[in-house]
Amino acid sequence: MVIVLEKGIREEDKRRIRTFLEKNSLRVNEIAGDEETIFGAVGKVGIDPREVEILPGVQRVIPISKPYKMASREFKRDNTVVNVRGVKIGGNRVSVIAGPCAVESREQIMESAAKAAESGAVMLRGGAYKPRTSPYAFQGMGEEGVKILREAGDAYGLPVVTEIVSAEHIPAMIDYVDVYQIGARNMQNFELLKKVGALGRPVILKRGLSATIEEWLMAAEYLLASGTEDVILCERGIRTYEKATRNTLDLSAIPILRSLTHLPIIVDPSHAVGVRDKVPPMALAAIAAGADGLIVEMHPCPECALSDGAQSLYPEQFEKMMRDIEVLAPVVGKAVSRRAVPKASQAAPVTGKTTEPSAASGPVTCAYSGGRGAYAEQAIKRYWDDEASAVATANFREVINSVLDGRATYGMLPIENSLAGSVYENYDNLARYEDIEIVGAVTLRIEHSLLACKGASLETVEAVYSHPQGLAQCDEFLSKFPHWRHIETESTSGAAELVSASGDATKAAIASEVNASIYRLESLKSGIETNPRNYTRFVIIARSGEVRCENPNHATVIFSVNNEPGALHSALGLFMKHGLNLTKLESRPIQGEPWRYRFYANVSLPEGVGSSVVSGERIRQALAEMGKIDQDNGVVQGVRILGLYNSKEIL
Ligand code: PEP
Ligand code: MN
């Protein structure tokens, strides 16, 4: 049973409850969350929940009806996110683990790690103790294999996962392994499960060759009951009468497990199908079915592999598959997890205030979408007073990926324009990418100029190029030249670049004035925007937990509400209760849940309150209360704080 304790429970009462449960032969696990503390009590004998409910300090008792307890959804409502040295599995992420079936040599595993990392894997796999069907087949490199696997992982910033076949090997593995894999053949080796669970480390538990979902969850229960909280279930195909594939990949297990358990679920398409060209389609199918990630065999030279060569992908195939997953993930409301480049090789590890780049930590790097002269680039320059180096990328998603993989510490994303409204793509991105947070915001005044090549004049111009927003924002000016053709481009700076490259006096671009010097153009007229009160608000993002904003006066939170009268009203009432300004409320459809919406609320402290050291406290309290309603299964759900930050106006 799950015992939810009262907030602020006295230590004495807590001790009494624990003693009572233990006397009744129950094992007690304490799970302390930010908002509430629970006791998970499991054991052979049943106990009347009412006896526990009346103990002082108990808020409520939830009995568990399944044979597996700690693995069940009833035990833990929220999805477990396993954190392996910063690499997360679970939540809205797709995390891909790749590497050869077996570690064969130093060169082989180094090359595998390089290829895996290059294509976007976040963890490295490789067996050192191989459970082979034949005793004459390659049995693995053993201890030496574990060591070089670790060396390769470290060289490319990838935590490592390897199979454990016997508890005897724990001493040889303990210093090197991040995630222990329990193979299909050992899923019901209960003595091994108990020993591995007791290590308290993350475990990938593969489904047994002919195990039912319930048997599989009972195996997970062994691990959880023995001491680890971090179990990742891995569907790798089961035995059926079908011979065309090595096993039959049971993808229906994913949605079934999702309702039965809180544990993350990954899929191994390699051992399921057994032939490499069938791996990518099944990998994509697994993601579409809701898997939290994949574990895939990839070998620098599959023909030379000592085991499972036929099902190992070529590095190029793996790369292509990763690109396809990148495209598919947003369709199911997820984002591909990125590896953080090891700190030592990063240009700018930054902590402290976002507004004050610290000299000791090197130059600040901030990614943006667009080319030289883009408004986002100006926002970066002005926000950091020319002290930051702006990293140009192709699109918004690349901005986020640059932040996630460490190419840039920060990213600058436009979120709304005062004339044109919200940039929905970025609202959706903020919800989808769970490993980024907002660490600052900046409002930039947008002033457009008409730029053209030297020698051009308003009289020579026949066509004007710009981003659709640029054209729309200058419609009054453009209406004076009805004979000009309007041609849309990807970005305003792209329009300037295009006009410059053409050298043609009949072409002009609407872009920021700074593009004149960048692209050797002349400004025919500046300040041509119809409404001078034209502002774009950008948010500054960083990898979650990397940057702490010391004196926040703004927050962005996302949440959804139950479909019942007054639900949104009660959520927003919390802001009023804590004296906060609700400055923006946006709603977006939740993917896969027709007619349900996710709300984005921006809140700020009213004028004059922002200067005190405890300024963020009110915001934190309101958000904590919101989170509490969520935890208690109230009208507000899915609360996530996208960021607590300072906002700056550059007008
Ligand atoms: C493996 O991952 O190399 C392996 C042996 O897997 P399974 O236990 O699923 O057969
Ligand atoms: Mn294998």
Could you tell me if 35 and 173 lie in one domain? Answer: no
Ligand 1 atom with the shortest distance to the CA of 130: 5
Nearest CA residue ID for atom 9, ligand 1: 184
Which CATH number characterizes residue 481's domain?
Answer: 3.40.190.10
Q: So what's the pLDDT on residue 361?
A: 53
Out of 112, 130, 206, 247, mutate this one to test ligand 1's pocket (max ligand atoms within 8 Å of CB): namely: 206
Which CATH number characterizes residue 42's domain?
Answer: 3.30.70.1140
Which of 345-354, 471-480, 572-581 is most confident?
Answer: 471-480
Q: Both tokens of residue 301?
A: 């030279």
Looking at the predicted structure, is the pLDDT value of residue 360 above 50? no
Ligand positioned closest to the Cα atom of 163 = 1
Could you tell me if 499 and 557 lie in one domain? Answer: no
Q: So what's the pLDDT on residue 362?
A: 62
Out of 101, 203, 294, mutate this one to test ligand 1's pocket (max ligand atoms within 8 Å of CB): namely: 101
Q: Both tokens of residue 163?
A: 């199979």
Cα–Cα distance, 117 to 87 (Å, whole number): 13
Nearest CA residue ID for atom 10, ligand 1: 184
Candidate list 536, 556, 575, 599, residue with the active-site label: 536
Place of tokens 């960048």: 518
Place of tokens 């993002």: 541
**Distance of CA 334 from the midpoint of ligand 2 (Å):** 27
348 pLDDT band (50/70/90 cuts)?
Answer: very low
Look at the chain and report how many structural domains it folds into.
Answer: 4
Ligand 1 atom with the shortest distance to the CA of 234: 9
* Residue 429: closest CA among 539, 351, 339: 539
Out of 271, 298, 306, 311, mutate this one to test ligand 1's pocket (max ligand atoms within 8 Å of CB): namely: 271
Give the mean model confidence (pLDDT) for residues 94-115: 97
Side-chain-facing half-sphere of 479: CA atoms under 13 Å: 7
> 325-339, 480-494, 612-626 — which is least confidently predicted?
612-626
Candidate list 75, 318, 538, 599, residue with the active-site label: 538
Q: So what's the pLDDT on residue 359?
A: 34
Query: To the nearest whole percent, how much of the chain has pLDDT over 70?
Result: 94
Out of 132, 236, 246, 294, mutate this one to test ligand 1's pocket (max ligand atoms within 8 Å of CB): namely: 236
Q: So what's the pLDDT on residue 276?
A: 97
Cα–Cα distance, 390 to 621 (Å, whole number): 35
**Distance of CA 229 from the midpoint of ligand 1 (Å):** 22
Query: Could you tell me which residues come within 8 angstroms of residue 559 by beta carbon, excluding any fewer than 6 positions away?
Result: 571, 598, 599, 601, 626, 630, 636, 637, 638, 639, 640
Out of 268, 294, 307, mutate this one to test ligand 1's pocket (max ligand atoms within 8 Å of CB): namely: 268
In-domain check, residue 239 = yes
The length of the chain is 651
Q: So what's the pLDDT on residue 350?
A: 33
338 pLDDT band (50/70/90 cuts)?
Answer: confident
Could you tell me if 476 and 567 lie in one domain? Answer: no
**What pLDDT, in 10s, does the model give residues 108-136?**
999 999 999 999 999 999 999 998 889 99
Could you tell me if 593 and 635 lie in one domain? Answer: yes
**What pLDDT, in 10s, does the model give residues 380-438?**
988 887 888 999 998 999 999 999 988 999 999 999 988 888 899 999 999 999 999 99
Nearest CA residue ID for atom 3, ligand 1: 101
Ligand 1 atom with the shortest distance to the CA of 237: 9
**What residue numbers bound the domain in which 26 lies?**
2-62
432 in Cβ contact with 642 (< 8 Å): no
In-domain check, residue 202 = yes
**Distance of CA 201 from the midpoint of ligand 2 (Å):** 22
In-domain check, residue 47 = yes
Nearest CA residue ID for atom 4, ligand 1: 183
In-domain check, residue 541 = no
Could you tell me if 519 and 558 lie in one domain? Answer: no
Q: So what's the pLDDT on residue 341?
A: 58
Query: Which of these three, 289, 313, 337, is where a domain ends?
Result: 313
Ligand positioned closest to the Cα atom of 204 = 1
Please calculate the CA angle 597-602-608 and round it to the nearest 5 degrees: 160
Which CATH number characterizes residue 132's domain?
Answer: 3.20.20.70
Ligand positioned closest to the Cα atom of 312 = 2
**What pLDDT, in 10s, does the model give residues 200-250?**
999 999 999 999 999 999 999 999 999 999 999 999 999 999 999 999 999
Looking at the predicted structure, is the pLDDT value of residue 614 above 60? no
Higher pLDDT, 640 or 148: 148
Give the mean model confidence (pLDDT) for residues 482-506: 95
Give the mean model confidence (pLDDT) for residues 565-586: 90
In-domain check, residue 141 = yes
Identify whether 37 is a catalytic site residue.
Answer: no
Residues with CB under 6 A from ligand 1: 101, 127, 131, 163, 183-185, 206, 236, 268, 271
Amino acid identity at 621: Q
The torsion angle over the Cα atoms of residues 302, 303, 306 and 308, rounded to 10 degrees, is: 60
**Distance of CA 205 from the midpoint of ligand 2 (Å):** 15
Identify whether 530 is a catalytic site residue.
Answer: no
Ligand 1 atom with the shortest distance to the CA of 127: 3
Cα–Cα distance, 494 to 371 (Å, whole number): 7
Q: So what's the pLDDT on residue 609?
A: 59
Could you tell me if 517 and 602 lie in one domain? Answer: no
Cα–Cα distance, 189 to 166 (Å, whole number): 9
Checking 363-366 for CB contacts under 8 A at 24+ apart, the result is 363/387, 363/388, 363/389, 364/388, 364/389, 364/409, 364/410, 365/389, 365/391, 365/407, 365/408, 365/409, 365/410, 366/390, 366/391, 366/408, 366/409, 366/410, 366/411, 366/412, 366/540
Ligand positioned closest to the Cα atom of 299 = 2
Q: So what's the pLDDT on residue 622?
A: 86
Q: So what's the pLDDT on residue 35?
A: 65
Mean pLDDT of the chain: 90
Ligand 1 atom with the shortest distance to the CA of 236: 9
601: number of Cβ within 10 Å: 24
Higher pLDDT, 342 or 75: 75
**What pLDDT, in 10s, does the model give residues 49-86?**
889 999 999 998 988 878 899 999 988 888 999 999 98
In-domain check, residue 511 = yes
Could you tell me if 502 and 612 lie in one domain? Answer: no
Ligand positioned closest to the Cα atom of 267 = 1
DSSP string, 242-284: --SSSSB--TTHHHHHHHHB-S-EEE-HHHHH-SGGGHHHHHH
Q: So what's the pLDDT on residue 630?
A: 81
Could you tell me if 51 and 103 lie in one domain? Answer: no
* Residue 128: closest CA among 92, 181, 77, 90: 181
Cα–Cα distance, 233 to 216 (Å, whole number): 8
Ligand 1 atom with the shortest distance to the CA of 207: 9
Nearest CA residue ID for atom 6, ligand 1: 183
Q: So what's the pLDDT on residue 193?
A: 98
490 in Cβ contact with 467 (< 8 Å): yes
Could you tell me the CA-to-CA distances from 19 to 52, 72, 203, 348 in Å, in that order? 11, 24, 30, 51
Could you tell me if 572 and 527 lie in one domain? Answer: no
Q: So what's the pLDDT on residue 224?
A: 95
Cα 205 from chain centroid?
22
**Distance of CA 268 from the midpoint of ligand 2 (Å):** 10
**Distance of CA 236 from the midpoint of ligand 1 (Å):** 8
**Distance of CA 270 from the midpoint of ligand 2 (Å):** 8
* Residue 197: closest CA among 230, 173, 151, 244: 230
SS (H, E, C) 382-434: HHCCCCEEEEEECCHHHHHHHHHHCCCCEEEEEEEECCCEECHHHHHHHHHCC
592 pLDDT band (50/70/90 cuts)?
Answer: confident
> 101-105, 271-275, 527-531 — which is least confidently predicted?
527-531
Give the mean model confidence (pLDDT) for residues 181-199: 98
27 pLDDT band (50/70/90 cuts)?
Answer: confident
376 pLDDT band (50/70/90 cuts)?
Answer: very high
Nearest CA residue ID for atom 8, ligand 1: 183
In-domain check, residue 455 = yes
Could you tell me if 557 and 523 lie in one domain? Answer: no
In-domain check, residue 284 = yes
Ligand positioned closest to the Cα atom of 183 = 1
Nearest CA residue ID for atom 5, ligand 1: 183
**Distance of CA 45 from the midpoint of ligand 2 (Å):** 41
**Distance of CA 453 from the midpoint of ligand 2 (Å):** 62
Ligand 1 atom with the shortest distance to the CA of 186: 8
Query: Which of these three, 313, 347, 365, is where a domain ends?
Result: 313
Give the mean model confidence (pLDDT) for residues 42-51: 81
Cα–Cα distance, 281 to 203 (Å, whole number): 26
**Distance of CA 171 from the midpoint of ligand 2 (Å):** 23
Ligand 1 atom with the shortest distance to the CA of 308: 3
479: number of Cβ within 10 Å: 10
- Tell me what percent of the chain is helix, strand and coil, each rounded to the nearest 5: 35, 25, 40
**Distance of CA 139 from the midpoint of ligand 2 (Å):** 12
Could you tell me if 517 and 573 lie in one domain? Answer: no
Query: Which of these three, 293, 313, 333, is where a domain ends?
Result: 313
Could you tell me if 11 and 123 lie in one domain? Answer: no
